[in-house]
Chains A and B, each alone.
Chain A
Amino acid sequence: MCPRCADENVSELTASPVPGVWKVLRCDLCLYTWRTSEPARRSTREAYPERFRMSRADIDNAPQVPAIPELRAEARGETP
């Protein structure tokens, strides 16, 4: 489970070059990434601080930086 948003869909990005020491996981929803050897405050849902948690609404309502501009007339296939 993702420590930050509690989503169950998690992918393994990599494993330690020295076998069996840690893995790096990523939440497929909020894209939080963590190493399994990190302190509980970063790697478990129970200990993850309230102020850093993220919800589906936080993701959906996140401002875009920078805003996506309008396509130019040429890019829209129109004659400028």
Chain B
Amino acid sequence: MPHDDLRSYLEALDGQGQLLHVEEQVAPEPDLGAAANAANRLGERAPALYFDNVTGFDEPRIALNTHGSWANHAVAFDLPPNTSTRGQVEEFIRRWENFPAPVERRENPPWAENSVSGGEANLFDVLPLFRLNDGDGGFYLDKAAVVSRDPDDPENFDKQNVGTYRMEVKGTDRLGLQPVPMHDIALHLNAAEQRGEDLPVAVALGNEPVISVVAGTPLGYEQSEYEMAGALRGTPEPIAKAPLTGLDVPWGSEVVLEGVIEGREREIEGPFGEFTGHYSGGRGMTVLRVDRISYRTSPVFESLYLGMPWTEVDYLIGPATCVPLYQQLRADFPEVQAVNAMYTHGLLAIVSTKKRYGGFARAVGLRTMTTPHGLGYCKMVIVVDEDVDPFDLPQVMWALSTKVNPASDLVNLPNMSVLELDPGSQPPGVTNKLVIDATTPVAPDDRGRYGQPVTDLPETGAWIDKLSSLIAERASENR
């Protein structure tokens, strides 16, 4: 059953042994951040964490690392927890085909149970906020779905955007929000600021797990995140109208903030330890004024630790980055077999493809860089043959070590665009990009001596089955 809110997802994680309730009293700092950091170092079956005994707080409820392992990511998609990484990506691709799935407008959202407005709206009264990393400039909301509409086309549901953007808490009703220029909210804000207006926004905290994934998925500008969430859930996404802004927010959210990004305002923000594994530096960033807070009774605050990969954010956006790149490449080049863009949100991507003719593979690499997501990420693209699994890194290393001659297989492109958070870019936002063609040359490209590859023996498949059953027999005898 798909989960309609965070609470039912937490129950499902618990049912699979993937939720660890820490009952002892902990300090808000550094314990909460350190515990989530530690969970990320426990491997593929790391659990989500739940804290409700934190020094100085009165009945806090804090969920961390809910997507932070392959097992958790599988539960989010209602799959068996032991589903392989590639299996999860393939299921994501299969469900994507059902886009767009209509939304369900549902009455009586639980977040309407309580609300405060105007001068009464105080973030600290509702959320048990805390710092994650030492150098962070403050406490952050880093796993919320931020909703906005195109000011030039406000009635257009498809152009309504749902995205995850980091927000620094700078006051009781004041946030600093980072709109990366490549992301849709930056387009909305740009239009509002050209018009001399504020941009109304709703911030949904503590959501069902699929919309959290979709909010970090690079969809097309006119693709609705809610209609994509419905496709991925296999049942419509329940949504409801937020009362102050009229924006559509998830029905099951724990907390909904409403307000505006103040037009043409910038204020010092950050630094924040980012998904790049580096701090962002301090920058003049937008200001979000909170005018209304709606919340479920006894709300659960969900947050996410991020730092040196891998951390929860890498699971949250890993498959979600692979699939749109795969779909966009396949639209032009059906020869593409698989895309693994799970490394730092696709700053590095690995693409496997068949070849039409010599030079084709590097064209696929270049096309990866000119997809909407590739413009801001995809700094390095490794292209491998169709029989190399891009999710099997030893195979990729084999391709790199044997199929590449640096004399002619590196395509180095100067002064390309990348998001400013890439710490290697200079100036920030500009970088060279590199295609590494690790495919076997095909005619008329006759470089190298690749005519005699060693392939698995024709009988190997049958022997895999035979050995597997012998091993299983022995295991059952030993029991």
Query: Which positions in A face B, CB cutoff 8 Å?
Result: 4, 13-14, 16-18, 21-22, 24, 26, 30-35, 37-39, 41-42, 49, 51-52, 54, 58-59, 62-66, 68-72, 74-75
B243 at the interface (CB under 8 A from A): no
Contact residues in B for A4 (Cβ distance below 8 Å): 137
- 21 pairs of residues in contact across A and B, judged by CB atoms under 8 Å: A17-B58, A24-B124, A31-B269, A32-B137, A32-B138, A34-B138, A35-B130, A37-B29, A37-B55, A38-B29, A41-B134, A42-B131, A52-B134, A63-B283, A63-B428, A64-B266, A65-B179, A65-B283, A65-B285, A70-B194, A75-B196
Minimum Cβ distance to chain A for residue B138 (Å): 4
The CA of A42 and the CA of B27, in the complex, are separated in Å by 14
Contact residues in B for A26 (Cβ distance below 8 Å): 138, 170-171
Query: Which positions in B face A, CB cutoff 8 Å?
Result: 27-30, 55-58, 122, 124, 129-131, 134-135, 137-139, 168-172, 176, 178-179, 181, 186, 189-190, 193-196, 264, 266-269, 271, 279, 281-285, 420, 428
9 nearest CB pairs, A to B: A16-B56, A21-B56, A33-B138, A75-B196, A17-B58, A14-B124, A64-B284, A52-B135, A38-B29
B124 engages A13 (CB within 8 Å): yes
A21 engages B170 (CB within 8 Å): no
Cross-chain pair count, CB within 8 angstroms: 121
The CA of A49 and the CA of B139, in the complex, are separated in Å by 18
Minimum Cβ distance to chain A for residue B263 (Å): 9
B139 engages A58 (CB within 8 Å): no
- Say what secondary structure dominates the interface of chain B: loop
Contact residues in B for A51 (Cβ distance below 8 Å): 135
In the complex formed, the residue of A with least CB distance to B183 is A66
The CA of A4 and the CA of B271, in the complex, are separated in Å by 11
Contact residues in A for B271 (Cβ distance below 8 Å): 52
Contact residues in B for A33 (Cβ distance below 8 Å): 137-139, 168-170
Minimum Cβ distance to chain B for residue A30 (Å): 6
Minimum Cβ distance to chain B for residue A66 (Å): 5
In the complex formed, the residue of A with least CB distance to B135 is A52
- Kindly name the residue among A33, A72, A75 whose own CB sees the greatest number of chain B CB atoms within 10 A: A33
Contact residues in B for A74 (Cβ distance below 8 Å): 195
